[in-house]
Chains A and B, each alone.
Chain A
């Protein structure tokens, strides 16, 4: 083998090694930095001033805002996918798709800002209170993950064999029956993949929810209560945290990574081992 060829193989292999090491280094760094604080995370109160680092309220905040946003975004996203694959004329789809693509590209901090300026005041006017709430976080996050779900769902629905559709229509099925009884079940694994992808994004999102949740570190009792997520907590407190407090934030990061990987792995298994791109 040529010398330069061998050199190229070595250099490119080194690049691949560095890229592969990335995720391991992240896991290692947050675990090492957070290790001493790990036993302190199991508590129901997060109050660094009093030396209490229980992550329960943060975990609850992350879980509720994620589930709440998916409850809104999954039906709407799959509906949009169905609209694009089976209802819209090509010309109409050519208008709606760029809107969704643009929406997917808008930075999360801009969604947070829009939530702060439009959704928070709207909630305050409609339901009273300050408006900074779990509900505001769910709405903002739902808008953010909707384009992802719609795009993946559209692909999955388009991949359903057209002959099945034609057969169903030939038997006299209505469009609603075709969608509900044929397309959605046939595209199930792809649709599950869309939900998994959205789940991972929602759980890991930081800025958009941070700006509208109100960030009280307590378990919310109603959708109108403020909440704080694991991610937002790190962004809020890292700038001034020292000592045990800083270790606790790193430990909560390690926990977030673990939860994120576990949830997406489990959901991926449920999707039938189909790769999520």
Chain B
């Protein structure tokens, strides 16, 4: 059995390394520093991906700006304020169900509500709002775990010194839970940067440099999908894929460093 499982592990690791190597080989020659800092031209056949990278960053920043306050707030409510009983269970069931919703459904929802009904059109704002909803379960789960891990004695000590619950949360619980919350934020960031289906329907596919949150933008994942799907430029598709994977793996490696060997919650 041992040789069999070792062979399996070798095969799986080999396939993964092979895939990355193939990706890198395809990007050789196309992925230069200039590629990242040049605007695309001729629908992406020429030029670089500057506007695409910036759209990705704006979308992810907007999504985190919405998801972090809501997610951390929910976690604090669950651990610190919610009356024990059915309410906590209900909130938890609903947010965990949200975690299992396929990403294309977030896209449909964002398209229906943000793009059409609220009249934002295909835009960075609509894309960020859609992504934020998708990231919420990750942020809530990691924050809740971090907040719950703060020792109860610290809260009791604060209360004994006359601090209100909010004072204890703000001055003691939040700083203690910060590394755990940051891990969740990084995991969410990684997902936001790599997501395609949800933003494809909400953020538009415009290649121009976005100048306001109501402008459409094309993130890297969507750019890769379009370049590959329409066969526009093989080298540029590979280069975009490598840049995207490097970004996501970097953010994820940071998160795993903070987790220190524990599994992603």
On A, residues with C-beta under 8 Å from B are: 1-2, 4-5, 8-9, 11-16, 18-26, 29-30, 33, 76, 79-80, 82-84, 87-88, 95-96, 98-103, 105-110, 112-114, 116-118, 143, 146, 151, 155, 174-176, 179, 200, 203-207, 211, 231, 234-235, 238-239, 249-250, 253, 256-257, 260-261, 264, 277
Partner of A22, one of B22, B133, B249, B264: B133
CB of B244 within 8 A of CB of A207, answer no
Contact with A along B96-114 (1 / 0, CB 8 A): 0110111111111101110
Q: Complex: how many Å from CA A174 to CA B2? A: 10
Answer whether residue B61 sits at the interface, using C-beta atoms and an 8 A cutoff: no
B1 touches A175 (CB 8 A): yes
Contacts of B98 in A (CB 8 A): 19, 22-23, 26
Given contact pairs A5-B166, A118-B22, A231-B102, A206 touches B245 in the complex (Cβ within 8 A) = no
| A95 to B13 alpha-carbon distance, docked (Å) | 9
With A117-B26, A206-B103 as contacts: A2 and B164 at CB distance below 8 Å: yes
Given contacts A5-B166, A207-B196, contact A16 B74 (CB under 8 A): yes
Does B90 touch A at the CB level, under 8 Å? yes
B195 in the interface (beta carbon within 8 A): yes
User: Is the beta-carbon distance between B76 and A12 smaller than 8 angstroms?
Assistant: yes
| CB under 8 Å from chain A, chain B span 219-262 | 221-222, 224-225, 228-229, 237, 241, 244-245, 248-249, 252, 256
- Whether A87 contacts B5 in the complex (CB less than 8 A), given A101-B256, A234-B108, comes out as yes
Residues of B within 8 Å of A, CB-based: how many? 80
Beta-carbon nearest neighbor of A179 in chain B: B1
- What are the 5 closest A-B residue pairs judged by CB atoms, nearest first? A204-B102, A107-B194, A15-B73, A176-B1, A12-B77
Bound together, the chains give a CA A264 to CA B22 distance in angstroms of 35
**Residue among B16, B221, B249, B256 making CB contact with A109, cutoff 8 Å:** B221
A8 to B101, CA, bound (A): 30
Chain A residues contacting B54 (CB-CB under 8 Å) are none
Interface residues, chain B, CB within 8 Å of chain A?
Answer: 1-2, 4-6, 8-9, 12-13, 15-17, 19, 22-23, 26, 69-71, 73-74, 76-78, 80-82, 90-91, 94-95, 97-98, 100-109, 111-113, 133, 136, 140-141, 164-167, 169, 190, 193-197, 200-201, 221-222, 224-225, 228-229, 237, 241, 244-245, 248-249, 252, 256, 263-265
* CA A14 to CA B167, docked complex, whole Å: 19
Residue in B4, B91, B104, B166 whose beta carbon sits within 8 Å of that of A16 in the complex = B91
- Taking A23-B98, A99-B16, A109-B225 as given, write out 16 further A-B residue pairs in contact, using a Cβ cutoff of 8 Å, ordered by the A residue number: A5-B166, A19-B70, A20-B95, A23-B94, A26-B101, A26-B105, A29-B113, A87-B6, A88-B6, A100-B16, A102-B16, A105-B249, A114-B22, A204-B101, A234-B107, A239-B201
* A19, A26, A155, A253, most chain B CB atoms within 10 A: A19
Contacts of B26 in A (CB 8 A): 117
CB <8 Å contact, A256 and B111: no
Please determine whether B1 and A116 come into contact, CB atoms closer than 8 angstroms: no
On chain B, the residues within 8 Å of A98 by CB distance are 256
Contact B194–A80 (Cβ < 8 Å): no
The contact sample of 19 A-B pairs, CB cut-off 8 A, is A2-B164, A4-B164, A8-B81, A13-B81, A15-B69, A15-B71, A15-B74, A16-B73, A18-B70, A20-B94, A76-B12, A87-B9, A96-B13, A100-B12, A105-B249, A113-B225, A200-B100, A231-B104, A277-B265
Task: Decide if B108 touches A238 in the complex (CB within 8 Å).
Answer: yes
Partner of A110, one of B2, B164, B244: B244
Question: Are A19 and B71 touching (Cβ within 8 A)?
Answer: yes
Query: How far apart are the CA atoms of A95 and B107 in the complex, in Å?
Result: 37
Contact of B73 among A12, A118, A277 (CB under 8 A): A12
Expressed in whole angstroms, the minimum distance between the Cβ of B206 and any Cβ of chain A is 13
Cβ of A238 and Cβ of B111 under 8 Å apart?
Answer: yes
Chain A positions within 8 Å of B15 at CB level: 143
Cα separation A23 to B103 with both chains bound (whole Å): 12
Complex contacts, A16 vs chain B, CB 8 Å: 73-74, 77-78, 82, 91
User: Is the CB–CB distance between B237 and A113 below 8 Å?
Assistant: yes
Which chain B positions have C-beta within 8 A of A277? 141, 265
Shortest Cβ distance from residue B117 to the other chain A in the assembled complex, whole angstroms? 9
Complex: chain A residue closest to B106, CB-CB: A26
- Shortest CB-to-CB span from A144 to chain B, Å, is 11
